[in-house]
Structures are given as structure tokens and as C-alpha cells.
Amino acid sequence: MNLRGARAIYTFELSRWFRTLTQSIMAPVISTSLYFVVFGSAIGSRMSSVDGVSYAAFIVPGLIMLSLLTESVSNASFGIHMPKWSGTIYELLSAPVSWWEAVAGYVGAAATKSVLLGLIMLATARIFVPYHIAHPAMMAAFLVLTAISFSLFGFIIGVWADGWERLQIVPTLIITPLTFLGGSFYSVAMLPPLWRHITLFNPVVYLVSGFRWSFYAHADVPVGLSLAATAGFMIACLIVVWRIFATGYKLKP
Amino acid sequence: MSKVAPPILSARGVAKTYASGVVALSPTDLEIRAGEIFALLGPNGAGKTTLISIICGLVNASAGTVTVGEFDNVRDWRAARGLIGLAPQEIATDAFESVWATVTFSRGLFGKPRDDAYLRRLLEDLSLWDKKSAKIMALSGGMKRRVMIAKALAHEPRILFLDEPTAGVDVELRRDMWALVRRLRDSGVTIILTTHYIEEAEEMADRVGVINKGRLILVEDKAVLMEKMGKRQLTIQLQAPLRALPDDLAGYRLELANEGHQLIYSFDAKGDETGIAGLMRGLHAAGLDFKDIQTSQNSLEDIFVGLVGVGA
């Protein structure tokens, strides 16, 4: 086992992030603040509470989930696409590093960034909204599990994409619509019946619902189902990543 | 050097056909001796990089096996890869990283414990120590290439692959690179380099493999190769130009060149009788005066062109 190899990738990836730490922190702090000023205070003050929670507080978990998904996918896809594009991937491929060691390094670093970002947003939200967290351990579990799952997904996209344009396609065309339609800003119960059924095919609904449950102990779908959906997605991504390395898809001719 | 020792690396029947159907490498056998400098010589697209990439694990072989040390590079891939360092043809580095960060990364990636003293010596040997904190993008092309070599050596491999180490490097830097490669060999590293500069193989290699169109045409000690295939030539600068060879000299392998101003005589330097003395007497008898004579040995270039074929 080459744990040193995995650690080398992990610290290398994180140090890239720390070099631009100010931007990395400022971006989510500013975007969270804007969301809360607009949706929380300006619009939210005119809206009735949802499921017994003020609208501003209601959108906290959804907003964090939204950023967590987007950041995880973009961090991880960038992390592996960059060496593929610049050619430095030769080193990874010629090193005594197994597929899961490489994944632990790249995906671990991407997920770490996302989790830290989520926590920063959580802290920022506190300035605007008094929220409470009913199940902190479950909240942390959802945060970490989602970060890992979507970093894995981002890793797959990063390997698959043949150029920077394609790298953007999946996040723009799939992730963003799914997150916006995934109940970040509304409760599924608020939708017309037909849409309520259609929306249940959106995996993000389960993530947002489970995450919100860990805050307010109220969910659109059973929390066990949320957890199972997230874990299922993670396992599916792991299998794909394992096959990528086993076959050398888009990595080894 | 030519003593028989177990090879440090051997490829057996290694072949590669890409998904597109292109046959990049026909079944190839190759053995590399510990401590030698082996030059893989061939024109662009001959299959040099494909062969190296298979050995280093960057490309899956379509057939054949590679043994590094005593390890199969597929079954015991971890152990096999640990013995190899690769400096690829394209300079690919993380432009924003410092030299020190990138070599420590390389060492860690190969699972070696941190050893700052070793890395310091390595960078000093490569004249990179005073640039250790510099960002790679701020370095010159020659320095970047040395950084690639430093990365390849960071985990103390026993075999170093240098894929076209002097491609696009000016003459002076090329000489520095050659000196560096010799120093590395003296430190005990086996070196396999690819090149399409014949001069480079001739200058540095102990043995030369010639590859063309995916086939390893020949593998030979450089000296033997030069001797075996090396003809010598005697060039005679004539005082006055000749229109045709005099009949007296018909028995010699002579050519007129440079519009009759030169006589070129080819001979086998290894033969007991080179025929030079007889030729001199013949020239005298024919009344031909000459102002200069010189002999030259065929270069590897001539041999190479002879093997690969002009314009092939």
C-alpha cells in the first residue's frame, strides 16, 4: 500500500487551493451573503414560514447543499483534468499508485475543500439567520457523504472530458438545474402533485431533504431513503472510477 | 561493460496496436544491462515513445511481457514501477509550483519517505538548488528539462528513461545534458534514452538500438556497430581535375567527386591490406598530383541511413 503516494496527491491538491485561499473563502462568503440579503431578508420577509421554519432559515441547508454539489464537482473535475490537459498525468500513471490511492488523494482533497466551504457558509449564514441544528452528527454525515459522492462524480467528469468546454457542460447542463429544481429554495410539498412525483426522480431532492432534516427534523422524503440514495450514488461512482482505472479509459491508450 | 550479467530490464514480444488499428510496435525483444547507457535511435514516429510508455506503464501493451529487475510490470507493477524514473519528451510541469514542491511531490508519489538531504544533493547535481523556491514557469527551457529529470530521479530509481532529452535544446545545453547523463550513469543509474539525433547516440551510448516503423531493426554495442559497419574513406584532393578515372587505377574502388577535384577511395579498415600503399604508387605511376589527403570513418549517421533507408 502506498499511503505516502495518496498523501502526496492530497497535500499537493490542497496546497494549490491554499495558495488562493483568500479568493477561495471570499467567494462563498460573498455569494452566501448575497443569497441571504436577497432571498432571506428582502423576499423572505414577505413569505410565510415553510414547515414551521422562517423562509430565511428554511433555505440555509438547501443553499449549502447547492454550493457543496457545485464546488465538489468543479474542484474534483478540475483536479484530475488539469494534469490530463497539461500532461503531468504521466507521473501519476507511471507511479506505484493504485486506483483507490489516486482517488483518495484527488477526491479526498476535493471533498475536504467542499466540506470546509460548507462550514464557512454555515458560519456566514449564522450572521443573517438564527437557525438551529437538530441532528449535528447527521448533518456532518450528510455534508461529508455528499462532498465525497459528488467529488467522485466530478472526478469521473474530469477524466471523461476532452477539453475545458466539455468540463463545463455537465455542471451547467445537469448539476445546476438538478440543484435548483431539487428543493433548495422550496419544499417539495409546495409543488403541484404531478411535479411532486416527477421531482422524486431528481437525486438532489433526497440530498437536500436529508440535509434539511438534520437541521429542522422535517423532511420531504424519509431520511433513511435520503441516506440510502446518497450512499448508493457514491457506490455507483466508485464502481465507475474503479472501471476507469482498470480499463485505462481516457487515461491509458 | 560487455560482461554477461542478468539484464535489469527485459521486454519480450512487446507489441502495441492502437484502437485505431495503427500498429505502433511490432513484437519486440529488448534487454537492458545494468549500468549502461542505451540509446534507442529512430526517426519521429518510429515507436520509441510507445516502447518506453509500455515499459513505464503509460500504455497497455497489446502483447508481450516486461520484467524490471525481477518484477513483472503488470503482476508486480508496484515494485517494477518503483525501480523506474521517467522524464518524458514533453515538458509537462505544474507551472505554479516551486521546484522544491514538485520534487517532494514526486518522491512522495512513489511512496518514498521524505529525504531532504537526498533531494538537496539531487538539485545541486542538476544545478537547480539555487532555484529551488522559484516557480517552474519562471525557469528557462533547459532548467525545466532538468526539473523533469530531477522529478524522475526524486525516488532514487535504478533505471532512468530519458525520452528525447535534448529535443529542441541548443547545442551548448545539449553538451551539458550529455555531461549530466554521464554523471548519472557514473552514480550507478542505468539510462535508456531515445533520440533521433544520431550524434547523441554516438556521443553517449554504450549500446544502440535502431528502431524504425515499429520494428527494432538491430541492437548492438556502439563500438561493434561502428566497427562492423564502419567503412573508412580516403579522400584525395587532386591538383588538377580529372574527367575520368585512369585505366591504371581501375582495380581500386575509386570514385570521382566534386567535379573531378576529389578521388574517394573506400576501404575496410579492419582488413590486413588496405590497399592504400598500392593506390599511392598507382597515382604516382599515372602522374596524378595531389595536394591533400584525409581519411574518415563512417559515422553512425551513415550506418543509420544505410539501415533505415534514405527517405524511408
Q: Which residues of chain B have a CB within 8 Å of the CB of A12? A: 101, 105
Give the containing element (helix H, strand E) for A209.
helix A203-216
What DSSP state is assigned to residue B162?
E
**CB contact (8 A) between residue A5 and residue B94:** no
Look at residue B298 and give its three-state secondary structure. Answer: coil
CA distances from B107 to A109, A242, B203, B260, B284 (A): 19, 25, 31, 63, 70
Q: For residue B17, what pLDDT is reported? A: 95
Residue A3 pLDDT grade (very low, low, confident, very high; cuts 50, 70, 90): very high
Contact present, B72 and A109 (Cβ < 8 Å): no
* Contact A47/B at CB under 8 A: no
> A110-147, pLDDT tens digit by residue?
999 999 999 999 998 888 888 889 999 999 999 999 99
pLDDT at B286 over 90: no
pLDDT score recorded for residue A201: 87
Q: What is the pLDDT of residue B1?
A: 47
**Whole-number average pLDDT of chain B:** 87
- Which pLDDT tens digit goes with each residue over A60-112? 998 899 889 989 999 999 999 999 998 899 999 999 999 999 999 999 999 99
A93 touches chain B (CB under 8 A): yes
Please tell me which of the candidates A86, A94, A97 has its beta carbon nearest to residue B92. Answer: A86
The proportion of chain A whose per-residue pLDDT surpasses 90, expressed as a percent, equals 48
Pairwise CA distance, residues B250 & B246, whole Å: 7
Say what the pLDDT of residue B312 is.
Answer: 40
Say if strands B207-212 and B37-41 run parallel, antiparallel, or are unpaired. parallel
Mean pLDDT of A11-27: 85
Contact A4 B60 (CB under 8 A): no
pLDDT of B101 > 90? The answer is: yes
Among B19, B95, B111, beta carbon nearest to A4 = B111
Q: Where are the domains of chain A?
A: 3-247
The more confidently predicted of residues B231 and B82 is B82
Q: Can you tell me the distance from the alpha carbon of A238 to that of A235, in angstroms, rounded to the nearest whole number?
A: 5
Q: Which domains does chain B have, with CATH numbers?
A: 9-227 (3.40.50.300), 230-297 (3.30.70.270)
Residue B8: which of B217, B216, B191 has the closest Cα?
A: B191
pLDDT at B299 over 70: no
The residue with cell 548492438 is: B220
Q: Are B152 and B86 in contact (CB under 8 A)?
A: yes
- Band of the pLDDT at A211, cuts 50, 70, 90? very high
Rounded to a whole number, what is the largest CA-CA distance in chain A?
60
**Category of B290 on φ-ψ map: left (φ > 0), alpha (ψ -120 to 50) or beta:** beta
**Contacts (Cβ under 8 Å, ≥6 apart) of A41:** A56, A128
Q: Which three cell numbers stand for residue A164?
A: 475545458
Cell numbers placing A99: 486506483
Q: What is the mean pLDDT of residues B278-305?
A: 80
**CA–CA dist B267, B290 (Å, integer):** 19
- Is A87–B90 a contact, with Cβ atoms under 8 angstroms apart? yes
Of B57, B101, B112, the CB nearest to A94: B57
Contact B125, B170 (CB under 8 A): no
pLDDT at position A184 is 83
Q: Is the pLDDT of residue B140 over 80?
A: yes
* B49 in contact with A, Cβ within 8 Å: no
- Considering only residues 107 to 136 of chain B, which have any Cβ-Cβ distance to chain A shorter than 8 Å? 107-113
Nearest-CA distance B58 → chain A (Å): 6
**CA nearest neighbour of A159 among A233, A235, A104, A85:** A85
The yes-or-no verdict on residue B4 having pLDDT over 70 is no
pLDDT over threshold 80, residue B111: yes
Task: Indicate the pairing of strand B9-17 with strand B37-41.
Answer: unpaired
Q: How far does A251 lie from chain B, in Å, by closest CA?
A: 8
The angle formed by the CA atoms of residues B204, B41 and B45, to the nearest 5 degrees, is 145
Q: Where are the beta strands (DSSP E) in B96-189?
A: 159-163
Mean pLDDT lowest among A236-240, B146-150, B293-297: B293-297
- Decide which of B2 and A113 is more confident: A113
CA gap B190, A196 in Å, rounded:
67
Q: Which residues contact A8 (CB under 8 A, 6 or more apart)?
A: A105, B104, B105, B107, B108, B109
> Would you place residue B300 in the very low, low, confident or very high pLDDT band (cuts 50, 70, 90)?
low
pLDDT at B228: 64
ipTM reported for the complex, 2 dp: 0.87
- Please compute the mean of the pLDDT values over residues A221-243 and round it to a whole number: 92
Across the A:B interface, residue pairs with CB atoms under 8 Å apart total 74
- Starting from the edge strand earliest in sequence, which strands make up the sheet with B71-72, in order? B23-32, B9-17, B63-68, B71-72
* Contacts with A, B 74-93, CB within 8 Å: 77-79, 81-82, 84, 86, 88, 90, 92-93
**Whole-number average pLDDT of chain A:** 89
